[in-house]
Structures are given as C-alpha cells and as structure tokens.
C-alpha cells in the first residue's frame, strides 16, 4: 500500500467519522429535544466521535477500514440508544427523531455542494471526467488525477453523505426511513407497526433488500445532484 493510498484512506476515514458522528448526534439531539434523554445520558449528543466509537467500535472502526482495504471507499454504521417506551408513547416524535439523522446528511450535502460550486465559479475546482466518489471535484491547479486533500475531502463528504441520506431513507427496517413511517400512521397503527418490526429476521431481511435496491435508486439521485453542482456540464 503506497503513501497516496494511505493518505486517501485517512481522508476517507475523517469524512466517514465526521458524517457518521453527526448523523447519530442528530438522532440523539432530536430525541432529547422531544423528551427522551437516553442518548444524552450516554454522552452521544456530541460531535466528539469517541462516545460513538465506544458504542459501535466494529461499525465505526473495523468495518470501514476493511471496506476501504477491499474496495477503496468506506461504509460502516453507528447507533444512538433511545427509550422504546418513549417511542411507543410518542410514535410521531419517534418518527421525527428517525428523520433527524438523514436530515443532518442532507445539510452536509447542501453545504459541500455549495462550496464545490463556489470553487468552480472562482476557478479553484473542476469536475472530474469519469469521477469516483473520491474525485467528484478536483483542484483546477492539479494536472490529471494528482492527489489534493481539500478537493478529495469535499468530494468524499459530498458523495458519502448523499449515500448515507438516500440509504437511510429507504422505508425498510431497521433504517431511518422505516422509523419515520409512523408519521403517516395513526398512533394505534404506529404502535402495531413498531411491534411487528421487533423480530430480528425482519431487520436482517430489510438490510439485505435495501442493499439490493440501493444502487439503482442512488444513481439517478447522484446524477441529479451533480447536475445541480455543475450546471451546464
């Protein structure tokens, strides 16, 4: 593994750590604001990644590093605890709490997209033909595929948060999109729905189905957002 690959891995991990921490901190903060302090007492209403790593070391350290070593990009997971009794009493609040994580990823997509677009407007950044998630933007001053940490970080932050948002919004258990469905249900139906999802096999089937359908869903979303970032290109 050469130095450029190590440097790319470090940039990926910083972007992954920040994005995942923000996602879970948003869940924890929303729950606290709506009456469930469980994650707050666990120290997870914070952008410090350490409490989140302590809760999910496998999903936040081991898996992303292994995925990067095998495929050149990173994915993993984290989690924020909540009180199931609170969620059962307040299914609408629980639904809003579920949406808080993807909303934080959307915020990062918008912010990063605006920075990239401004960089293009001022001649500092340019689109990359045949781009990967690591090279959605490149430095206009760097020839070819030369490594530049700033544009690489912006590219990864944009692409990774778009992935996290779209994937988590799929309405399949145990993803956030499934947790948000009670917002469209009566309280009684929402309680029955949540009870039906408690079986572990349902969550496993949901994850497998989500991964199967994700890329066909994601590709048009990525194309649409890139047309917004690079209008006319």
Say which range, 122-126, 129-133, 216-220, has the weakest mean pLDDT: 129-133
Mean pLDDT across the stretch 32-45? Answer: 97
Domain extent listing, the chain: 3-229
pTM, whole model, 2 decimals?
0.94
DSSP state of 133: T
Q: Which residues, 6+ apart, have CB-to-CB distance to 210 below 8 Å?
A: 167, 170, 172, 175
Give residue for tokens 């993993």: 76
Judge whether 155 and 17 are in contact, CB under 8 Å: no
- Contact, 98 vs 179, CB < 8 A? yes
CA 128 to chain centre: 23
Distance, CA of 223 to CA of 127 (rounded, Å): 13
List pLDDT tens digits, range 128-175: 877 788 889 888 776 555 568 899 999 999 999 999 999 999 999 999
């Amino acid at each position: 593994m050469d130095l450029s690959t190590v440097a790319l891995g470090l940039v990926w991990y910083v972007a992954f750590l920040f994005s995942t921490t923000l996602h879970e901190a948003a869940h924890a903060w929303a729950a606290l604001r709506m009456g469930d302090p469980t994650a707050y007492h666990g120290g997870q209403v914070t952008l410090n990644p350490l409490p989140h790593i302590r809760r999910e070391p496998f999903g936040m350290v081991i898996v992303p590093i292994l995925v990067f070593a095998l495929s050149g990009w990173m994915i993993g997971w984290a989690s924020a605890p909540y009180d199931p009794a609170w969620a059962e009493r307040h299914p609408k609040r629980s639904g809003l709490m579920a949406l808080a994580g993807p909303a934080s990823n959307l915020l990062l997509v918008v912010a990063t997209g605006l920075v990239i677009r401004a960089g293009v407007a001022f001649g500092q950044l340019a689109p990359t033909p045949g781009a990967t998630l690591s090279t959605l933007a490149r430095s206009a001053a760097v020839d070819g595929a030369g490594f530049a940490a700033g544009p690489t970080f912006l590219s990864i932050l944009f692409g990774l948060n778009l992935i996290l948002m779209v994937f988590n919004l799929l309405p399949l258990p145990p993803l956030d999109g499934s947790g948000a469905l009670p917002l469209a249900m009566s309280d009684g139906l929402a309680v029955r729905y949540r009870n039906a999802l408690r079986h572990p096999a349902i969550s496993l089937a949901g994850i497998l189905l989500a991964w199967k359908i994700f890329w066909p869903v994601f590709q048009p979303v990525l194309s649409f957002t890139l047309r917004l970032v690079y209008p006319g290109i």
